[in-house]
A and B are shown apart, each in its own frame.
Chain A
């Protein structure tokens, strides 16, 4: 287990190195950070001084070297706009994004599993046809349209749910500002997580349905029937457990892209998370913040993929992580 995590850490470092190179190369094309930082009244000399102070006149390679040295010591630079370490800014926004993604993923699992299973067991029933039709629709409608529609009906027409922000948050153990423990926070969470879930649910329904149909044809399912076991046990234990193997693999990758989708959702609902922060950083040409964001997302990807591997090995007895005893 230790060597497995060690190997994953090395991979993560490699991924981060590549991300940092890419984010540094694009920075020249983003615009002039100094113009964003200072007003129009600042003189050219002062601008030049600031540019010098930020080290923007140095060659790119030297700037990158400086950044890399800092990064190795856990310092991802100062945000031009917030005048704070970028990591602190991101970490303060992390809970909002993680809560949103987590709730969306929970919704996806709760919605997609039974619907996918039903569509696989009774492929010709009216319900499964309806589910498939709606999921095709869901696949082809972009998330911002779904979000705007949800917002229009629930927040403007019917006035039952708030349209933006995170609402009231409480402190959890002093390190996490959470919206999960009070009604106002949960009400604010509903619309954003539903629109985020709307992107992934159709993919999962189709994935579970296709895999389950395959599994239901297999010999061990027919054998299970021949033992006289009840239908629910065959569908939800024998078949579903085997169905979940590929679903977990694909699902893990999709869970990573969920973080990317939060950028759109958070922008629409003004959700104060990392995605919104990133959008702001791009408009402000806050290069250190952009780089730091990309690197944090890289870490999230590696962490989720590692978790997926661990979960996969728990479901599939034929795969054991080296050194991890059952």
Chain B
């Protein structure tokens, strides 16, 4: 049985006239110790998904339908008190911008100790020892000195290490990292990613990495989920998706990586913008930007098909597959 399984998760934002749908029927699962990535542009609903998993959606967001099962427990029905026992202890989070994630008026130590002592009965002295140990674990120099410092006395990369150390304090089952390197210096990014990957591997922690950067994904995640306009449009093993993307959106994203452009040429981009929540296109949400869009794409959203590489929601891929199977007499539908 998988550690986390999400089924038909829908998130809406309450509005005066009509609720806006931020997540449509999202399903995926995560095994113990597995590392997955959720990729998409800004506004695809990646972060909303991350917050929905730990029930930290900002008002007026709410989970409209679906289930989130963690270790056999249904999370969407937990009371605030029960949630307190899950957050930090079972599922830890790493946020995007380490400059604004730590509380500026509390010391690093205070913010670590409270995380420990909210979940376990342990003497201050022992909690302090554990905290300093974890700071050393994420390779922070002079950890016992850092313990008494305030966040502003540390650099961005250092702070993100502190946040990773806090995430590790209680040996969680899952770490959700929401764009953990986006706000950091490029030189620091690789270090932090390497640290995150290694720490998850060493401790058998499952990782959900939320990012817009395929370059980051390839280094960390075993499986990748590509999101567009609140839906998963393609999912499969990371390497296969990168080598042979099926969905036109995934192709566009990969094509937009700077290393895909020739020197002296404009970088490739996907035409147009992610549709706003209050103006979602009919049918396949990607059709206004899709080079292969047809009439039926405007009518009804496509279902998932297994392409042999990944699972994709696209009519064009579907057609190619059925042509292929007619020739071969082989049925590729999942």
Chain A residues with CB under 8 Å of chain B are: 217-220, 222-231, 233, 237-238, 241-242, 245, 315-318
Q: What is the bound-complex CA distance between A213 and B96, given in angstroms?
A: 22
Q: What is the bound-complex CA distance between A314 and B107, given in angstroms?
A: 13
A228 adjacent to B95 (CB under 8 Å): no
* Chain A contact residues: helix, strand, loop or mixed: helix
For chain B residues 79-131, which have a beta carbon within 8 Å of chain A? 80, 83-89, 92-93, 95-97, 100-107, 114-115, 118-119
Say yes or no: is B150 at the interface (Cβ < 8 Å to chain A): yes
A238/B85 contact (C-beta < 8 A), A227-B115, A233-B114, A318-B150 known: no
Say yes or no: is B154 at the interface (Cβ < 8 Å to chain A): no
Residue of B nearest to A241 (CB): B105
Chain B residues with CB under 8 Å of chain A are: 54, 56, 58, 80, 83-89, 92-93, 95-97, 100-107, 114-115, 118-119, 150, 152, 163, 166
A218 adjacent to B100 (CB under 8 Å): yes
A315 adjacent to B105 (CB under 8 Å): yes
Query: Min CB distance, A316 to chain B, in Å?
Result: 6
Query: Min CB distance, B123 to chain A, in Å?
Result: 19
B114 adjacent to A231 (CB under 8 Å): no
Q: Which 8 A-B pairs have the closest CB atoms?
A: A228-B88, A228-B87, A227-B88, A226-B93, A317-B150, A219-B100, A220-B103, A227-B115
Q: What is the bound-complex CA distance between A23 and B208, given in angstroms?
A: 70
With a cutoff of 8 Å between Cβ atoms, the chain B residues found around residue A316 in the complex are: 104-105
Most central of B92, B114, B152, B166 by chain A CB within 10 Å: B114
A229 adjacent to B106 (CB under 8 Å): no
Residue of B nearest to A315 (CB): B105
Q: Which of B86, B92, B101, B106 contacts A219 (CB 8 A)?
A: B101
With a cutoff of 8 Å between Cβ atoms, the chain A residues found around residue B84 in the complex are: 228-230
With a cutoff of 8 Å between Cβ atoms, the chain B residues found around residue A228 in the complex are: 83-89, 115, 118-119
Residue of A nearest to B87 (CB): A228
| Beyond A230-B84, A317-B107, 6 extra complex contacts between A and B, CB < 8 Å | A227-B88, A227-B166, A228-B83, A231-B80, A241-B105, A317-B150
Query: Min CB distance, B211 to chain A, in Å?
Result: 18
With a cutoff of 8 Å between Cβ atoms, the chain A residues found around residue B85 in the complex are: 228
Q: What is the bound-complex CA distance between A317 and B149, given in angstroms?
A: 10
A229/B103 contact (C-beta < 8 A), A219-B95, A317-B150 known: no
With a cutoff of 8 Å between Cβ atoms, the chain A residues found around residue B106 in the complex are: 237-238, 241
With a cutoff of 8 Å between Cβ atoms, the chain A residues found around residue B105 in the complex are: 241-242, 245, 315-317
Residue of A nearest to B51 (CB): A222
With a cutoff of 8 Å between Cβ atoms, the chain B residues found around residue A241 in the complex are: 103, 105-106
- Interface CB pairs A-B, < 8 A, 22: A218-B100, A219-B100, A220-B102, A220-B103, A220-B104, A223-B95, A223-B163, A225-B87, A226-B54, A226-B56, A226-B87, A227-B114, A227-B118, A228-B87, A228-B119, A229-B114, A229-B118, A230-B84, A233-B118, A241-B105, A242-B103, A317-B104
With a cutoff of 8 Å between Cβ atoms, the chain B residues found around residue A230 in the complex are: 84, 118
Q: What is the bound-complex CA distance between A317 and B107, given in angstroms?
A: 9
Query: Min CB distance, B193 to chain A, in Å?
Result: 20
With a cutoff of 8 Å between Cβ atoms, the chain B residues found around residue A238 in the complex are: 103, 106
With a cutoff of 8 Å between Cβ atoms, the chain A residues found around residue B93 in the complex are: 223, 226
Query: Min CB distance, A101 to chain B, in Å?
Result: 28
A318 adjacent to B87 (CB under 8 Å): no
Query: Min CB distance, A259 to chain B, in Å?
Result: 30
Most central of B54, B86, B105 by chain A CB within 10 Å: B105
A226/B92 contact (C-beta < 8 A), A231-B80, A233-B114, A318-B152 known: yes
A227 adjacent to B104 (CB under 8 Å): no
With a cutoff of 8 Å between Cβ atoms, the chain A residues found around residue B118 in the complex are: 227-230, 233
With a cutoff of 8 Å between Cβ atoms, the chain A residues found around residue B56 in the complex are: 222, 225-226
A227 adjacent to B87 (CB under 8 Å): yes
Query: Min CB distance, B72 to chain A, in Å?
Result: 20
Residue of B nearest to A237 (CB): B106
Q: What is the bound-complex CA distance between A237 and B106, given in angstroms?
A: 9
Q: What is the bound-complex CA distance between A277 and B187, given in angstroms?
A: 69
Most central of A218, A228, A233, A315 by chain B CB within 10 Å: A228
